[in-house]
A = this chain, B = another copy of it.
Amino acid sequence: ELGPFTEDLNKTKPEYLKSFQYENKLMPSTWIVIRIDGCHFHRFSEVHEFEKPNDAQALNLMNSCAAGVLEEFKDIVFAYGVSDEYSFVLKKESQLYRRHASEIVSAVVSFFSSMYAIKWNEFCPHKEMKYPPYFDARAVCYPSCEILLDYLAWRQVDCHINNQYNTCFWMLVKSGKSKSEAQHYLKGTQAQEKNELLDQLSGTINYYNTLPLMFRQGSSVYWDKETKMVDNEGGGAGKSRKIVVVKHCNIIETSFWEAHPGILDEKHNDFRL
């Protein structure tokens, strides 16, 4: 019944309608970073009773999804996550979706979201998911390795600053202060003062440094040689293979990058599949 109209339409219109699509290619030979951020995750974390200031289960879920992203999209060479945010770094010469921003951004965030929902029960076994979580995402390009590392350092610094603040804030709240009192109390305090406050409230010297590395340094995800012997199919003498690892290391200092030259430099990368 769509017949006659159909024939007519199909002959003349599709090219015209496609002409409204615009091209948004990301500059060649630059480092593409896809950053995803939880939408309304403040509410999501409350409804699902995430522990404050950090919920290890929820963070592990994020990390597991990020690892899945690296396994699915081979051009992603590194990811860094903190809180409800994750940054994915594509190798400089990646031709994923011919570098079309919209396709890259949407495929990555869609895969991540899908996996988040699927793995929820595994990581939060005693919590029912009340409604679908979702993330927004964007692509940013950096023209040099130096600026890319500055970007990653910035995210890790942000992790540290936010975590220190949040740790103080929630410790004050747990000590009986209201949220606005806690906020007022912390306004304008320096890093040093916050550390002293934490020591005092906890009764522990250098309390902040006793917190898990994941809370303080965020999570880095990348392909690495498996260090254990791999006993694959009838053994054989200690073959190594590459696996995606999640670590909580200092990525601000260059020593991390020097110890893992293959992450950003393809020339060191020939052992990747």
Identify the A interface with B (CB < 8 A): 1-3, 5-7, 9-10, 13-14, 16-17, 19-25, 27-30, 36, 39, 68, 97, 101-103, 105-107, 109-118, 129, 132-144, 147, 150-151, 153-154, 156-157, 160-161, 191, 209, 217, 250, 252-253
Contacts and interface: CB of A to CB of B under 8 A. Distances in A.
B2 A143 contact: no
Given A1-B209, A101-B102, A117-B117, A110 B135 contact: yes
The majority secondary structure among interface residues of chain A is: helix
Contacts of A133: 114
A14 B112 CA distance: 26
Q: How many copies does the complex hold?
A: 4
A96 to B, nearest CB: 11
Contacts of A115: 117, 132
B129 A250 contact: no
A27 to B, nearest CB: 6
Given A16-B28, A106-B137, A129-B118, A154 B9 contact: yes
Nearest to A25: B22
A17 B154 contact: yes
A197 B113 CA distance: 43
A43 to B, nearest CB: 13
A138 B106 contact: yes
The 5 closest A-B pairs by CB, nearest first: A143-B143, A117-B117, A106-B137, A114-B132, A110-B134
A17 B106 CA distance: 23
A114 B111 contact: no
A201 to B, nearest CB: 20
Given A17-B154, A20-B147, A106-B137, 17 more contacts: A1-B209, A2-B156, A5-B157, A9-B153, A17-B150, A20-B142, A21-B140, A23-B23, A24-B24, A39-B110, A102-B136, A105-B105, A105-B106, A107-B134, A113-B114, A114-B132, A118-B129
Most chain B CB within a 10 A radius of its CB, from A68, A118, A143? A143
Nearest to A118: B117
A240 to B, nearest CB: 26
B24 A28 contact: no
A42 to B, nearest CB: 16
14 contacts: A1-B209, A1-B250, A5-B253, A10-B154, A20-B27, A22-B27, A27-B143, A29-B143, A30-B143, A102-B102, A103-B136, A109-B109, A118-B129, A143-B144
Contacts of A3: 191
